[in-house]
Structure 1
Amino acid sequence: MANGILGTKTITQIGILVNDIEKVSQAYADFFGVEKPNFIVTDAPDIAQTEYRGSRTEARAKLAFFDMGSLQLELIEPDHNPSTWREYLDEHGEGPHHIAFVIEGMKEKITLLEGKQMALLQKGEYTGGRYAYMDTMNELKVIIELLENDK
């Protein structure tokens, strides 16, 4: 198990929840001396097929990405609909939400983690792939996001 449960040990992304993506994006751009990225809005519910805690949700979010070498910083401003983003932001305030790994075999990895009492919180589709947030808070003290890109 050289690369552990996920088949990789490379953290691809750190996700941070924010209330005002424009303001926080500018703060990061100024801090790093880079251009502020434009934010995107997650796909509409019929495309994203987002499920939160086992039920469909209309949740969407504004996302801004900073590519920082081998690591991507993702800022997330969620809408008011039920999601792991909204729940975490409401309970904990702004700040780190997840670390992400690019994996292969999404269904198998979800099943494997669920077998270790790490529940699926939210999953959905994006152009070119899919994601899943796993509740690894008890064990790892952070949510893990799985990213699987189409080949």
Structure 2
Amino acid sequence: MSGLLGNNVITQIGILVHDIDKVSQAYADFFDVEKPQPILTDTLDKTQAEYNGQPCAARAKLAFFNMGSLQLELIEPDEHPSTWRDYLDKHGEGPHHIAFVIEGMQEKIMLLEGKGFPLQQKGEYTGGRYAYMDTIPQLKVLVELLENDK
């Protein structure tokens, strides 16, 4: 076990952007890699997403760069309220979260909430689920929990 999460290996860094095509191309050029095709997150009926305890209809375009042991995720949110949209509006483009693969999502959320890190947004994706914990006051970035189905 390592720390609160049982894992201290950062698997992903999430970066908020206004124009995913432009920024994806910039990363592709910078690292001399292929530009990934952006994907659109699922609709609420599939994600069952909640933001600050309320159903979250927000969707985002995502582009993933696999950089060795770390994945860079570019996120272009739509206009609906979400952790992505609100953070982008308040802070502008740049880092949003660091992600860790965990096991036991509900237990980890409860553990972190008990330590003063409230759940901000959660949802399902094909093959697993995610949760953004509000660690900004302490860590200056959100922590995302990722739990993949076995």
User: The TM-score by the shorter chain falls in which range?
Assistant: over 0.9
Matched, 1:9 2:8: yes
**Matched AA of 2:132:** Y
Alignment of 1:2-151 (within 5 A): 2-151=1-150
SS of the aligned residue for 1:59 comes to coil
**Matched AA of 2:125:** Y
Please list the CA deviations of residues 18-44 of structure 1 after superposition, one character each: whole Å capped at 9, or x if unmatched.
Answer: 000000000000000000000000011
Identity across the alignment (%): 75
5+ residue gaps, structure 2, are none
SS of the aligned residue for 2:117 comes to coil
Detail structure 1 runs of 4+ shifted over 4 Å in the superposition: none
TM-score, normalized by length of structure 2? Answer: 0.99
Q: Residues of 1 paired with 2:141 and 2:56: CA distance?
A: 23
TM-score, normalized by length of structure 1? Answer: 0.98
Q: Residues of 1 paired with 2:27 and 2:52: CA distance?
A: 31
**Matched AA of 1:101:** F
RMSD of aligned residue pairs (Cα, Å) = 0.6
Q: Residues of 1 paired with 2:93 and 2:138: CA distance?
A: 22
Aligned residues: 150
Q: Residues of 2 paired with 1:33 and 1:84: CA distance?
A: 31
